[in-house]
Amino acid sequence: MLTQIGQTVTCWNCGKSPEEVHFCSHCESLQPPTTDYFEYFGLPRKLQIDLGALEQSFYRLSRRLHPDVYFRRPERERQLAVDATAWLNDAYRTLKDPVARGEYLLDLYGMKKSEQKSSNVPPELLEEVFDLNMALEEIRTGDDSVRPQLIEAKAKFENLLEEVDHSLEAGFGEWDRTESRDALEKIYSVLNRRNYIRNLLRDVNAELV
Amino acid sequence: MGIDLGTTNSLVAYMDSVRPKIITDADGEKIVPSVVAMTPEGELTAGRPAADLLLSRPERAVYSVKRLMGKGIGDVTEELKLFPFQVVEGSESVIRIRLGDRILTPPEISAQVLRRLKLNAEGHFGQPITKAVITVPAYFNDAQRQATKDAGRIAGLDVLRLVNEPTAASLAYGLDKRKQGIVAVYDLGGGTFDISILKLHDGIFEVLATNGDTHLGGDDIDNLLIHIALEDVATEWGEDISRDAVGVQHLRRAVIEAKHALSTEPEALLRFSYRGKQYNRHIDRPLFEKLIAGIIERTLEPCRQAVLDAKIEVRHIDEVVLVGGSTRIPLVRETVQVMFQKKPHAELNPEEVVALGAAVQAGILAGVQQDMLLLDVTPLSLGIETMGGVVSKLIHRNSTIPASATEVFTTGVDGQKNVLIHVVQGEREMTGDCRSLARFDLKDIPPMPAGMPRIEVRFLIDANGILNVTARDVRSGKEQSVEVKPSYGLTDEQVEAMITESIDQAEADFRQRQVVEARLEADAILAATEKAMDHDAWFEISEEERAAIKTALNELRMAYYADDHLLIRSQVEKLNQATFHLAELMMDTAVRSALQGKDIREVG
């Protein structure tokens, strides 16, 4: 995803270094995206973001980059506008959602989101997850008596999810203050935990409907 | 121009400096029925003449073809039971329908409707029109969009953009006032249902979420009522006419009339007479509403899902807009009002608003509407098949388009030269439950040990909501060739062949119209000249002049039946020249000054 980042770039039109993110500062032509999502929005790599300001930037950049604006320009520029807007849209979608934003930052530091495996069960939840899986098995085989147990579990995990979201917010704050590896590790484990709980909830909800 | 290519009806509109306007045909009609038929002379026709043929020769007509766009026979088995179409073999990935002696695909049939609209627009502007924005249901998948684009190309149109119908409608609405806030557009048409939730901000129309059902609309109500009426008829007449295509089409028309009446009247009479027999039935609104409640109910789940996906609550919605002919039904309005806790807007004609919005988008692309910008979304998630048939989602539904995703692929066997990527659209976990979109074959991978090649594939959904795939070899940086095998729809070669065929037809259409127009001019001058030959002035001009007029008259009469508008026009001009002096003499001296510069057609 980020293969283009960090390469030295020259403007496709005038051959000089464009110096700015979206348009060449010499010839004003639209440039292909070469920065990460934060920089594309002119933001520092911070995780606590003013969503209102982000939206305003998104609208402002959309007006300048959108393919509709380049519709009567040569094919090359039209294609550039599609690429730039796709990057802008992908960036906005990622940055406006806290979870996606956190995962993206980790990705920038080489910490890929882990695939969900049973070994990733947060240790303090092991017992409850085991009971829950039993209950899920039973309801799938038609035993409706475990329904109250599932409803109870659902409420519990929903509470846990809320707690996790608070921890995530705390992790974000820590990163913004310290930009430390510790903060990244913390966010990483919170996001894994969150992912795990969310999947569990999805399974429970699927059976309760 | 902007085109609303509807299931039942189609319209074309244009931007008249600041305001979109619907273009009418030569008879002043705005609506072109989306019906295509083969005339007894073996020619394809679309619109009103085709709708008439549907009644008398249903086996030679096709309607609601939009429901078959981008579909294979397996998708529409149930549906085809209700349609009188003859589907021929080889319809697995594209449906093929027999129409008279021809076999046509849905894009070709839709192209006939588009061509009719194109001719209407050309008649209006007096010049060829080749560029258009065409609307599609927001919930159309990739194959359905591609099929619509193909139809445009076959009709000789450069399709500038496919715009989602509810979004187009919001453009038409948003044009009037500087509206801000959150708007829900509820679009129940002839064959499809869409719900879109938009955020309006200083001329930016940002779609937050969309949902729908491409198999839900007024057609379903018609079919339900026809079904009931057929049973009644069987009991009353002791005769089952459900297999009699002509009878069913007449009943369809009667049912639709009753349905329309019930939107304004508390009661309607379904009046059906066929082959000397009568069937009459009073339907009051409570009964009608009881019958259709289930169909209307089906629109609610997509509405709830859209609200959820937009990450808003119903109370945040500032306005609700109704689009599509079926929203004229009072029960639909009540249902919408209950769902959104707001009285819905219907100031603009719900049948015209989509075409008007398409014209606005055409204006945006032409640079006429510079302050407006539409940010639409993809309605369905895009994913690839992974191990065990599980779908890995790459682009989620309701992502703003253009949207992209990149994945790196490698080989599983030493020396493997091809990698096949199966792309699907849909929300389910398993490939089999999603809609297969295409298989992309990464070809000519340099032979290497398994796992070594690194092919980066970029999936891009463009502003039309259509997928584009490109690939490059990460090691060499070179572009990697990709062969696309669409699961449904036509290949590029097939479309090209159809375009060639249609260009011939389009040229013939255009020539034919020019001939017709030239003949109209000829008619006028011939009649005027013949009348002038009885005028006193005829004997005041010289013998030579009279001879020249007679020669020009005969030459025009001969040219008249040639299919050559240039020849007809030049003969009209010759006769005009020859009669110039005569026309002058015919003018009474008293009015001569007032009529200076007039020719014979105006003084006769």
Q: Are strands B131-136 and B2-5 parallel, antiparallel or unpaired?
A: parallel
Domain boundaries, chain A: 1-96, 118-208
Residue of B nearest to A81 (CA): B402
pLDDT at B302 over 60: yes
- Which residue of A59, A62, A86 is in closest CB contact with B403? A86
Fold of A1-96: Helix Hairpins (1.10.287)
pLDDT of residue A115: 55
Q: Which of B333-347, B508-522, B555-569 has the lowest mean pLDDT?
A: B508-522
**What DSSP designation does B535 have?**
S
pLDDT of residue B42: 81
pLDDT of residue B177: 58
Highest mean pLDDT pick, A12-16, B396-400, B416-420: B396-400
Q: H or E stretch including B431?
A: none
Q: How many CA atoms, within 13 angstroms, populate the side-chain half-sphere of residue A190?
A: 24
Residues B323 and B340 in one domain: yes
Give the Å distances, CA to CA, from B112 to B58, B84, B293, B508, B509. 17, 19, 35, 14, 11
Q: What digits encode the pLDDT tens for the residues B232-266?
A: 888 888 888 888 888 888 999 999 999 999 999 99
Residues B226 and B98 in one domain: no
Question: Do residues B465 and B162 touch, judged by C-beta distance below 8 A?
Answer: yes
pLDDT at B131 over 60: yes
Find the largest Cα–Cα distance for chain A: 73
Structural domain count of chain B: 4
CA B5 to chain centre: 2
Select from A101, A124, A4 the least CA-distant residue to A54. Answer: A101
Bridge partners (DSSP) of residue B455 are B409, B473
pLDDT at B133 over 90: yes
Select from B71, B102, B85 the least CA-distant residue to B35. Answer: B85
pLDDT of residue B432: 85
d(CA A208, CA A204) in angstroms, rounded, equals 6
Could you give the 3-state DSSP secondary structure of residue B451?
A: coil
Residues B488, B214, B75, CA angle at the centre, nearest 5°?
40
For chain A, where are the E strands, in sequence order? none
Q: H or E stretch including A43?
A: none
Would an 8 Å CB–CB cutoff place B207 in contact with chain A? Answer: no
- Which residue of A1, A59, A67 is in closest CB contact with B402? A67
Residues of A with Cβ-Cβ distance to B204 under 8 angstroms: 59, 62-63
Select from B169, B207, B142 the least CA-distant residue to A89. Answer: B207
Q: Which of A5-19, B118-132, B304-318 has the lowest mean pLDDT?
A: A5-19
Higher pLDDT, B281 or B484: B281
pLDDT of residue A114: 61
d(CA B357, CA B133) in angstroms, rounded, equals 10
Amino acid identity of A157? Answer: F
Domain hosting residue B415, numbered range = 382-489
Find the largest Cα–Cα distance for chain B: 101
pLDDT of residue A3: 41
Select from B122, B24, B62 the least CA-distant residue to B514. Answer: B122
Mean pLDDT computed over A111-137: 71
Residues with Cβ within 8 Å of B75's Cβ and at least 6 positions away in sequence, in order, are none
d(CA B170, CA A62) in angstroms, rounded, equals 19
Mean pLDDT computed over B431-450: 88
Residues B37 and B128 in one domain: yes
| Interface contact flag, B401 A89, Cβ < 8 Å | yes
Residues B92 and B200 in one domain: yes
Select from B481, B460, B442 the least CA-distant residue to B405. Answer: B460
Q: What digits encode the pLDDT tens for the residues B320-347?
A: 999 999 999 999 999 999 999 999 988 8
pLDDT of residue A2: 40
- Average pLDDT in chain A: 85
**What DSSP designation does A154 have?**
H
Residues with Cβ within 8 Å of A194's Cβ and at least 6 positions away in sequence, in order, are A99, A161, A164, A165, A168
Would an 8 Å CB–CB cutoff place B469 in contact with chain A? Answer: no
Residues B127 and B245 in one domain: no
pLDDT of residue B311: 94
pLDDT band at B599, cuts 50/70/90? low
Q: Which of A31-45, B317-331, B476-490 has the lowest mean pLDDT?
A: B476-490
Q: What digits encode the pLDDT tens for the residues A162-204?
A: 999 999 999 999 999 999 999 999 999 899 888 888 888 888 8
| Interface contact flag, A67 B364, Cβ < 8 Å | no
Q: What digits encode the pLDDT tens for the residues B147-159?
A: 999 999 999 999 9
CATH number of the domain that residue B249 is part of: 3.90.640.10
Q: How many CB pairs under 8 A join A and B?
A: 55
Buried b (16+ CB within 10 A) or exposed e, A61-89: bbbebbbbbbbeeeeebbebbbbbbbbbb
Q: Which of A50-54, B11-15, B172-176, B451-455 has the lowest mean pLDDT?
A: B172-176
Residues B128 and B152 in one domain: yes
pLDDT of residue B589: 46
- Average pLDDT in chain B: 88
Higher pLDDT, A20 or A53: A53
d(CA B173, CA B322) in angstroms, rounded, equals 10
Residues B191 and B229 in one domain: no
pLDDT band at B493, cuts 50/70/90? confident
Would an 8 Å CB–CB cutoff place A71 in contact with chain B? Answer: yes
| Interface contact flag, B373 A90, Cβ < 8 Å | no
Question: Do residues B313 and B342 touch, judged by C-beta distance below 8 A?
Answer: no
**What DSSP designation does A5 have?**
T
- Would you name the residues of B annotated as active-site residues? 4, 66, 165, 187
Select from B189, B186, B134 the least CA-distant residue to B164. Answer: B134
Would an 8 Å CB–CB cutoff place B209 in contact with chain A? Answer: no
Question: Other C-beta atoms within 10 Å of A181: how many?
Answer: 10
Would an 8 Å CB–CB cutoff place A94 in contact with chain B? Answer: no
B470, B489, B508 - which closes a domain: B489
Residues of A with Cβ-Cβ distance to B474 under 8 angstroms: 3
pLDDT of residue B93: 84
Could you give the 3-state DSSP secondary structure of residue A26?
A: coil
B294, B326, B352 - which closes a domain: B294
Select from B44, B10, B26 the least CA-distant residue to B508. Answer: B44
Q: What digits encode the pLDDT tens for the residues B45-99?
A: 899 989 988 888 888 889 889 999 998 888 888 777 777 788 887 777 889 998 8
pLDDT of residue B517: 80
Residues B314 and B210 in one domain: yes
Select from B430, B434, B437 the least CA-distant residue to B484. Answer: B437
Q: What digits encode the pLDDT tens for the residues B104-128?
A: 999 999 999 999 999 999 888 888 8
Residue of B nearest to A91 (CA): B403
Residues B158 and B274 in one domain: no
Backbone angles phi, psi at B319, to 5 degrees: -145, 150
Question: Do residues B112 and B134 touch, judged by C-beta distance below 8 A?
Answer: no
B375, B409, B432 - which closes a domain: B375
pLDDT at B502 over 80: no
CATH number of the domain that residue B364 is part of: 3.30.420.40
Name residue, tokens 């510790």. Answer: A182
